[in-house]
Each structure stands twice: as C-alpha cells, then as structure tokens.
Amino acid sequence: MTAALDREQARYIAAQAADARINFEIETEGMTLNMGPQHPATHGTLRIVAKLDAEQVVSAEPIAGYMHRGYEKLSEVRTYPQVTTLINRIDWLGSFANEVPFILAAERLMEIEAPPRAQWIRTALFEMSRIANLVLFAGDTGLQLGGQTAAFYGFRDREHVLNQIEAVTGGRFHPNFDRIGGLKDDLPKGWIAETKTAMAKVRDFCDEIDDLVTGNEIFQARNRGIGVIPADVALSYGLSGANLRGSGVDWDLRRDAPCGLVHPELDWKVYTHPDGDCFSRWWIRIQEIREATRMVDQCLDGLPSGPIMAKVPRIIKVPAGEAYVETENPLGAMGYYVVSKGDLGPFRVKIRSASFNNVSVLSWVLRGVYVPDIVAILSSLYFILGDIDR
Amino acid sequence: MSADTETEAPEAADGEAEEAEPRDEAREELRDRFAAELGDAVVDSHIAVGHTLWVRVTAEAWATAALVARDHLNCRWFDFLSAIDWLPSPYGRYEDDGLTPPEPIDQTIVTGYAGGDTRFQVFGHLVDVVDHHDIVLKADVPDDTLTVPTWTGAFDGANWHEREAREMFGINFEGHPGLRNIYLPTGFEGHPLRKDFPLISRIVKPWPGIVDVEPMPAVEEPEDDGDAGSTEDAS
Amino acid sequence: MTSAVLAFEMAYWQQSVLRSVGVLAAVLLPAGTIVYLFLFKMMSFMQSRLGPNEAGPYGSLQLLAEVGKWIQKEDIFPAKADRKLFAMAPYIVVASVLLVYVAVPFGPDAWFARLDTGIFYVLAVSSISAIGVLIAGWASANKYSLIGGLRAAGQLIAYELPMVLAVVGVVVQAGSLDLFEIVRMQAEGEIFGLSWFGNPFILTQMVGFVIFMIATQAELTQPPFDMPVAESELVTGYMTEYSGIRFLLFFIAEFASAGAFGIIAATLFLGGYWLPGLDMHADYMNVVGPLVLLGKMLFVTFIIFWVRFTYPRFREDQLQKFAWTLLIPLALVNILATMVLKVAF
C-alpha cells in the first residue's frame, strides 16, 4: 500500500518539478540592443545601449566620448588666434558660428568692439552657417525616416550656401575667419548679389521640403506625439535651441541676450511650438531656416561701410579676467567661459556645447518608446558628435 | 550678512571729481536677493557691469545655492557646471626649444573673480529664461576631501556635467546617482584637465612652431618673448 | 510551349529544360530592366543626380557589373549562424518568385503552365517567400536580423489578406480563377456599351487596384513598408549578414518579385498581354504579347518605385493598424459591391 502511495507521491513531485522546469524555460529575458558607435542612424559615433522588451525600450543609455579630442586642454597651450582654428571643428556643419562666442568673449575682456561693418558681416555669416546646418538637418531627418530623396535635395541646396561661405572665407566647412577685433577680410566683389540669389534658392528648398516631407501623412504619423519633452524637463536638462522652443519655452539668445551681433536691429521672429514632440522641433527648424534667409538679406541690405578690423596690437594679450559669452548657435546655445591671466593664450576655456545637454536628455526621453522611434527622436534632437564630445 | 566686496573701485575714494562708476542695479538687486536667502553661505561676489554676476558660496552650501537660485531667483534653466584648476601649469606652454633653459614658472595660485582660497573651484551657470537673468555660482572645493554636494537634486542636467568634472578634475560629487567616466575609457588613470597632468601630445612631439626661432622681419614689437612664429594669422 | 507551335518534336525533358530556361529568362529580363531603369536611373534623376553612367553607354551595363561584383565576393558565414538554414534561405525566396512567373500567360500559346486555378496558385506560392525571410532573419544569429525577420513575417502575413481580398473582387467579376480566362474577359468584355478597348478590370475595380498596389508595396518590403529592412535602424534587416552570391540572390529576388507582382497586376487589372486592336488568338501575339505584358509591367513597377523613393517609412504598429483596420474592411466592401453589381448587371 505505502509503496503505491510512495510511487504516486514520487510521480506527483516529478510532475511538479517538470512543470517548474517548463515555467523557468519559458521565462523570457529582455534583449540588449547596442546601436553601436558605427550605425547609420547615430549621426556619428554615438553609442546607445538600449534594453528592449520585444520592440519597446525599457531603458536606454547614450554613451558619448568616442570622439573626445580634449579641446579644453588643447586651448590652454594655444594663443587666442590659434584657438579659433581649433574650435571651428566643434560643430562642423555650422562652423563659423563656433568661433563667434569665443571671439566675443575675448573682445569683452580686451574691452574692444568690432567695427559696425564687421559686426553686420559676422551676423550674416552666423546666420548663413545656421542655414547650412539646418538644411542638412532637414534632409537628414527625411533620410532617417526612410524618405531618401529629401537628403539629396538637402545636400544640393546646401551647396548654394557653402559656395557663398567659401567665396568670402576661403573654406566651406572650417572658415577660420573671425578675428579678435573684426574679421580677416572684406567681402569680395559681387558677393552680396550672389548671396541674395542663394537665399532665394534656400527659401525654395524650404517650400519643397514642406511639400515633400512636412505635410506627408506618414512623416506626421512618425513624428507627432513621439518623444514629448515637457518644458520643465527641458529646462532642467538645459536643452536649448529648437529643442527648448519646441517645448514651448520662449528663449532665444539672439533676442534675449545679444552681444556683439546685430540681431536686435533686424526684423525677425522667434518661433515656439507648444507640443514638445519631434514634429514641433522639426517645424521650428524649418521656420528658422526661412527666418535666417530673411536675416541675411536684411544684413546685406543694411551693411554699413567702414573698416573691417578694429585697432588691435599685432600680438594679442588679453587682460586678466573671466568672461562668459553664449550665443544661439544652430544646434542650440553655445558658450565659452574664458579665464584669462593676461597671457597670449587663455588660462582655461570651458566650452559649453549645446549637444552635450541635448543628448543627456536621451535616457529620460527614450523610456517606453518603440525601436523605430529611437531613430525619429535622435534625428529630431539633432546633435553633432563633435559638439557632444568636443 | 557677510561683507560682499566688489572689485570695482570703492566709491568712498574720491566721488566729486570723477564721473559716476557705472553700476548694474539689476544684478546688484539679484545678488542681494540671493544673499538674503543664503545668509552666511555667500562668501564673495563680483559684477561685470552689463554682463555677468558672479557669486561665490561655501562648499557645504553648494547644493542649497542651486536650489535657491532655482526657486527664489527663478533660474530654472541649467546651463553648465564645471571646475577650474587655478594652479599655473608647471609645464608652461610646452615651448621649450631645448636651446634656452626653461624659465621657472611661478606656482602661486591666483584665483579670479569673486576670489577663492583653494586650488580647485567648481562653477556653474544658471539662467532665468523668463526675466532674462543669469548667475554664475562658484564654490571652493576643499583641498583635503575634494568633495562638494551634487546639483542633481536641483537640476537633472547636472548629471553628465558632474561626471565630466569628476573625470577631468577628480572632484567628487556627493549624492550623485552614478559617477562614472563619460568621455574617458573606464580605468583611465589621472585627471586630464588638471594643470599638473601633462599634455602628452606636446611632450611626444614638440610643437613645430618653436623650431623656427627667427624673429619676424618687421621691427615694431619690443615684446618678443621667444614665442616664435605666432601672429594673429597663424593657422 | 505546346508542340503545336514548334516545327519539330521535342521530348518531354527537352520541353522541360526549355521551360526552365524560359522561366529564368523571363525572370531575369524584367528584373534586369527594372533594376537598371528604375533603381539606378529613375531614382537618380528624381534625386537630382545622374546615377551610374560609366559602365556601358549611359550606365546600361551597370547591372552586369554589379552581378560580377557580387559573384566574386567572399562567402561569409557568421560564426554562430545555423549553416544549413543560412545557406537555404535565399534559395527559398528566389524559388518562390520564379514559381510565380510559371502561371502567367504571356500570349495565347506562350505560357509555361496552364493552371485552372492560376491566381490561387500565384498567391499561395508568393507567400512562401515569407518563410525564407524568417529563416534568413533567424539563421543570421544577429539581433538586427532577427528583429528584421520578425517584422517581415508579421508584415507579410498582415498584407496577404488585403491582397487576396482585392484579387477576390477581380475573380468575382471575371467569374474564374484561371488567369487565361481573366485576360479573355478583359479583352472581350465591354464597358458602357463600348467594346473596342475591352473591359480592363482597373476601371471597375479601381478600389481593388489601389489596395492591390498598396499590398504589393508591403509584400515587397519597399518603403513606406520597409520596416524589415529599415536602413537607418537595422542596417539591412534580415539581409545584413549575407554577402556574395547569396546577397545577389536576395537582390534579384527583390526586383524579380517586383516584376512578378507587376505582371500579376497587369494581368488582373490592365488586360494582360492584350492591347486594343490586336487579335487575341493570333499567332503573332505570341511574340507581341510578351512585349505588351512587359510594357504594362514596367508601368506598374514605375508606380511602385516612385512611391518607394518618395515616402518615409511606417512604424511597424502603424503599418499593422493600416492593414487590419483600413485595408481589409475596404477590400471586403469592395467584394460586396462587386458581387452586388455583378448580379445586377
């Protein structure tokens, strides 16, 4: 009798154990997806390690630093004009804009002001670098989402602006044109008329992109309501540029903290959007391209005559002090905190780059999104690797 | 309230013959409101008229200062947070050409605006995007512990900035959720932005500009301090 | 070819060899035309660039160059891949595409196999490629490929239904599953009392045509339905780990299936190998018919590729929602309307 009961019990226990084994095996783990440093979507060498549950992201962490070049340390051993060459390469798409805050900080410490003509041309080139940068953004966002044609149109129309920048500075991507006290050279003959033609072509491009991409239902379905960043999160992470204005915060350094550039004298608008999603950031950038073309036209119309460079000594020694100048660069707010001890070169330069803050919000915004949305959010936040990694 | 010094010339000197010193009332009012909240924690301040306000606080009050700036001054936009190493670099400018003996470098620590007593200082910039105020906060980092409280309680964005400050300077941020390297590989030894960390690329390969010690042909510069080849058009 | 057409007797095995070679030619010819014409040249012109212009006059031999390039590449197996499955997957996909061409009428006597249930066979056989894609995704031992394969499987299954339902509308109108019968009905039918251009089913089945084209775009995993191969996310999805001849097979299969679905669409909706004014049963139609069909296929594939290079891609869940909540009900309504009108008229 007991033997039969024992067998029964043994069989029961075995069945329980088998059941437990099956349950243990069916238990699924999440998958870790590594959008590694080399990937078509990450605009450079950004690495995102995402833990997925089927197609949804549970947690994501961006890992930067694959392109860290140590600009802050390198600046300490260079003279001020040599630093300008270096910082061109931080945001390499809108590169003239990188030089401007640094030069303005040095000029503030030296207490000199660039002559009006130089300031107006600086503003025109500043806005042109914004156009060059954001036109690529427009094309690239279409490409990331699958509309390959938009990318080609973007590159084609960017050429107009780059040709103009090259005509005056000699370099398409790294102008190295700004000098403490003014600019290196004056405008070549015929440049103003050509630039106005180029601006008209860029406006046509904006209209074309609006037809091709902005109104497209699929594009809207992929971008509306995706990657919503509320205003308080945006402020707390220090987002800037279209990322901040896309969340409804009305803050534009060109209007609110202008220094050395002539934006207050131009007639232009700041665009904000209340939604805070990927579409609002896209929309604002397209409007900013249009506004930038109008600003360039106004700059060229109102260009005063005069010298292009203030009186500065041949060998520049900036007096001791500290200055922080921040401008509204294409990617966001970029600033240089320059500490000077009266030497030929700075004592410490802290580079506040826009994309560093913009990318830090990724771990917050990527929770709970689908894998395809990662790409949409990355392209809408629009960072440049050189800007993150300096 | 502790004595706040301004590094402008004191008005008590000779007020009648001189034109009035430019004063930045808005920033002074901001500083006074800030000091009213923090009291003794505010050590020093400096105003660059029309440009920036610096306020130095004690290291213990570093986190509280951020909260006060955020809640009472409404500076809700976090700009950046970093550190300065005030020790002059013992390597100079890496321009020893091997012909002349290197000049001794004065290693005394001289701090900048709003003073300072330690080698390292942390500093951060916060902005009020509604009324367009901004404030630069500074704090001395105690030399023995090299630790200051974290700003991540007040601003989420400080997370990455503090990670970078720690790996570059070696300053610890107490209360930070996960201080690990952000730019440098894990296991990197040393803190690169410290002044006594050499710029290895210049040691490995001397800068080509110092090889040519011939002075420029035009004779107008009396102060040619062996810094050959550098003009404002150098590229 | 039936022996009635040929001047001399052929043994059965000779006929089979001829048919196999014929099928291959019928597949590779349109595939080549499509690839060169649309992918290289039309896409390039739409994107304001020239496209290949070095290999041969106006770049016409570019496809030959590409084939040569892919053939001589190293055959790479990922270390953790399942070798047998990995090797097998491209052949499954290509086989399913080739089998589609077998049932299509190219002319009154120019066909490879005359099946009574032609369109049923075509739909069934074209779904086999989903298995091949899934096998490729799994066997690559790569997370990106796996995600791509799973997305593809879900998508291909989801869009089979609208395609089948759209075809059912045509079948109801024609009254037969036989592709030859469908072409004959279009050639000899009349609409609004006019009979000179027959009754191409696109006129009465416009809704069905649109649904069929959308479903085709999804079956081919082309944008806007190319989540499985979303380049900016998954590199190339289920094809990531393939190189050399296997990748070439996937490449050919992609364009050959575009051609295959184009031919099916032309047969079902545009009148097949018949043009108004031609005699459907004449002997010369055996030569003219394939050319006519090729032309119609190029027209349909032009639309497919035009949409491909214009639209961004759907997200997977939006894609599924589109199929299940929009296309399928629409197709069902289409069938209902067709049945009612067929009975009424």
Element (H, E) at C125: helix C118-126
Chains A and B touch (3+ CB pairs under 8 A): yes
Q: How many CB atoms lie within 10 A of CB B210?
A: 19
A contact chains, 3+ CB pairs < 8 A: B, C
Q: Where are the alpha helices (DSSP H) in A240-301?
A: 242-245, 253-256, 278-301
Q: Which pLDDT belongs to residue C77?
A: 84
Q: Which pLDDT belongs to residue B9?
A: 41
Chains B and C touch (3+ CB pairs under 8 A): no
Q: Which pLDDT belongs to residue A39?
A: 73
Mean pLDDT for C67-81 is 85
Residue B204 in any domain: the answer is: no
Residue C35 in any domain: the answer is: no
CATH 2.40.37.10 at A71-360, yes or no: no
B contact chains, 3+ CB pairs < 8 A: A
In 3D space, the residue among C296, C254, C301 whose CA is nearest the CA of residue C275 turns out to be: C296
Average pLDDT, chain B: 78
Q: Which pLDDT belongs to residue A4?
A: 61
Least confident segment among A19-23, A211-215, C227-231, C321-325: A19-23
Task: Calculate what percentage of chain C has a pLDDT beyond 90.
Answer: 10
Exposed / middle / buried, residue A91 (Cβ in 10 Å: 0-12, 13-18, 19+): buried
Task: Calculate the CA dihedral of residues A271, A272, A278, A282 and round it to 10 degrees.
Answer: 0
Question: In chain A, which residues have their Cβ closer than 8 Å to the Cβ of B84?
Answer: 339, 348, 350
Contact flag A312-B79 (C-beta cutoff 8 Å)? no
Residue A39 near chain C (CB below 8 Å): yes
Contact flag A236-B76 (C-beta cutoff 8 Å)? yes
Mean pLDDT for C236-262 is 84
Q: In the predicted model, is pLDDT for residue B213 greater than 60?
A: no
**Token duo for residue B176:** 């930070």
Where does chain B show beta strands of DSSP type E?
Answer: 42-48, 52-57, 77-85, 120-128, 133-140, 147-149, 172-174
Question: How many angstroms separate the CA of residue C317 from the nearest CA in chain A?
Answer: 9
Contact flag A356-B160 (C-beta cutoff 8 Å)? yes
User: Which range of residues forms the domain containing residue C244?
Assistant: 73-344
Least confident segment among A56-65, A380-389, B92-101: B92-101
Band (A15; pLDDT cuts 50, 70, 90): low
Contact flag B235-A176 (C-beta cutoff 8 Å)? yes
Residue C318 near chain A (CB below 8 Å): yes
Residue A287 near chain C (CB below 8 Å): no
Q: Which pLDDT belongs to residue A14?
A: 65
Question: How many angstroms separate the CA of residue B78 from the nearest CA in chain A?
Answer: 5
Q: In the predicted model, is pLDDT for residue B233 greater than 60?
A: no
Q: Which of A143, A221, A373 sits opposite C232 (nearest CB)?
A: A143
In 3D space, the residue among C161, C138, C150 whose CA is nearest the CA of residue C316 turns out to be: C150
Q: In the predicted model, is pLDDT for residue A237 greater than 60?
A: yes
Contact flag A372-C309 (C-beta cutoff 8 Å)? no
Q: Which pLDDT belongs to residue A29?
A: 63
Question: How many angstroms separate the CA of residue C314 from the nearest CA in chain A?
Answer: 6
Q: Which pLDDT belongs to residue B220?
A: 55
The CATH number given to whatever domain includes residue B39 is 3.30.460.80
Question: How many angstroms separate the CA of residue C144 from the nearest CA in chain A?
Answer: 8
Q: Are B137 and B154 in contact (CB under 8 A)?
A: no
Residue B6 in any domain: the answer is: no
User: Which range of residues forms the domain containing residue B193?
Assistant: 25-197
**Token duo for residue A242:** 């279209």
Task: Calculate what percentage of chain C has a pLDDT beyond 70.
Answer: 94
Size (chain B), residues = 235
Q: Which pLDDT belongs to residue A354?
A: 92
Count of domains for chain B: 1
Q: How far apart are CA C234 and CA C150, in angstroms?
A: 12
Q: How far apart are CA A141 and CA A150, in angstroms?
A: 8
pLDDT tens digit sequence for B156-176: 889 999 999 999 999 999 889
Mean pLDDT for B92-105 is 70
What residue in A sits closest to B95 (Cα-Cα)?
A: A77
DSSP notation for C280-339? TT-TTHHHHHHHHHHHHHHHHHHHHHHHHTTS-PPPHHHHHHIIIIIIHHHHHHHHHHHH
Residue C66 in any domain: the answer is: no
Which among B53, B103, B126, B182 is the top mutation candidate for probing chain A, defined by the most A β-carbons within 10 Å of its own β-carbon? B182
Question: In chain B, which residues have their Cβ closer than 8 Å to the Cβ of A77?
Answer: 93-94, 199, 202, 207
C contact chains, 3+ CB pairs < 8 A: A
Which among B156, B169, B233 is the top mutation candidate for probing chain A, defined by the most A β-carbons within 10 Å of its own β-carbon? B156
DSSP notation for C7-57? SS---HHHHHHHHHHHHHHHHHHHHHHHIIIIIIIIHHHHTTS----SSSG
- For B173-180, the CB contacts below 8 A with 24+ separation are B173/B147, B173/B148, B173/B149, B174/B147, B174/B148, B174/B149, B174/B150, B175/B63, B175/B149, B175/B150, B176/B150, B176/B152, B177/B152
Q: Which pLDDT belongs to residue B11?
A: 43
Residue that has been written with the tokens 């595939």 in this structure: C31
Contact flag A357-B113 (C-beta cutoff 8 Å)? no
Count of domains for chain C: 1
Band (C50; pLDDT cuts 50, 70, 90): confident
Q: In the predicted model, is pLDDT for residue C115 greater than 90?
A: no
Q: In the predicted model, is pLDDT for residue B127 greater than 60?
A: yes
Task: Calculate what percentage of chain B has a pLDDT beyond 70.
Answer: 77
pLDDT tens digit sequence for A51-107: 887 778 888 889 888 889 989 999 888 888 889 888 888 988 878 999 999 999 999
Q: In the predicted model, is pLDDT for residue C183 greater than 60?
A: yes
Residue C40 in any domain: the answer is: no
Contact flag B79-A82 (C-beta cutoff 8 Å)? no
Q: How far apart are CA C176 and CA C259, in angstroms?
A: 24
Q: Which of A320, A322, A389 sits opposite B183 (nearest CB)?
A: A389
Contact flag B230-A315 (C-beta cutoff 8 Å)? yes
Band (C11; pLDDT cuts 50, 70, 90): confident
ipTM of the complex: 0.85
pLDDT tens digit sequence for A190-232: 999 999 999 999 999 999 888 888 888 888 888 888 889 999 9
Chains C and A touch (3+ CB pairs under 8 A): yes
pLDDT tens digit sequence for B67-82: 988 888 888 999 999 9
Question: How many angstroms separate the CA of residue C229 from the nearest CA in chain A?
Answer: 10
Q: Which pLDDT belongs to residue B99?
A: 64
Mean pLDDT for C218-239 is 73
DSSP notation for A127-166? HHHHHHHHHHHHHHHHHHTT-HHHHHHHHHHHHHHHHHHH
Mean pLDDT for A310-331 is 89
pTM of the model: 0.82
**Token duo for residue B113:** 């605006």
Contact flag C235-A143 (C-beta cutoff 8 Å)? no
